[in-house]
Amino acid sequence: MGSVRTQPGSVRPGGRTARVRAAVLRAAGDALVENGVHGLDLADVAFRAGVGKTTVYRRWSSVPGLVADLLDDMAEQSLPRSDTGSLLGDLTANARLVRTTLADPRQGVLFKAVIAAATCDARTAEALNRFYTTRVNEWAPCVEAAARRGEVPPDTDPHEVIRAVSAPLYYRLLASGDPLDEAAADRAAAAAAIAAREGAYARTER
């Protein structure tokens, strides 16, 4: 179990490697929230985590490697989708979850930091895109179920609908600075549900 060559994610939960990973990723998150990605330093993260520097350098090797693993861990940890029985109910649950995460002082800063890091590092960008793919895949079945219930046309692209719920909340966080309140979340969900019902997210030929 103690092998540092084990790939993240393939480790027995509760083993020493998993405990080290959890401590290091928690410390990496703390450091990112405090100092941003340009203040992230593997030796500092090792110190915060109470783990040997050599272990951290050997396993994560670089800041982008560490941030990528943090994003993979965030994808693994994230909550399962809702199943309220209606598309509007499910999308509202999704929007409120995204809103609560982005409005949380620690999580909001963490998301800003990894998104900023992804703008200037390809490996971080890939990990970030993987994170969103995982989240969108988790929630897409809400739209598939709505299509089976006849709430939306059968050719609706489920991934587009889920992305449409998150997008206005990220736009507020990163661009316009408008408040990330629950009204914004509920409006994002309602707009996506209505547009989906009216066929705005029909699959396009690629």
Residues in touch with a copy of itself (CB under 8 A):
36, 38, 112-113, 115-120, 125-126, 128-129, 132-133, 136, 160, 163-164, 166-168, 170-172, 174-178, 183, 187, 190-192, 194-195, 198, 200-201, 204
Q: Closer to a copy of itself at the Cβ: 60 or 201?
A: 201
Q: How far is the CB of 2 from a copy of itself (least distance, A)?
A: 35
Q: Which of 121, 139, 124 is nearest to 189 (CA)?
A: 139
Q: How far is the CB of 141 from a copy of itself (least distance, A)?
A: 18
Task: Please state, in angstroms and rounded to a whole number, the distance separating the CA atoms of residues 68 and 85.
Answer: 35
- 143: tokens are 């739209």
Q: Closer to a copy of itself at the Cβ: 17 or 156?
A: 156
Task: Please state, in angstroms and rounded to a whole number, the distance separating the CA atoms of residues 188 and 103.
Answer: 15
Cβ–Cβ under 8 Å, residues 72 and 127: yes
- Interior/surface letters 109-126, b for 16+ CB within 10 angstroms, e for the rest: bbbbbbbbbbeebeebbe
Q: Closer to a copy of itself at the Cβ: 24 or 117?
A: 117
Q: Closer to a copy of itself at the Cβ: 20 or 117?
A: 117
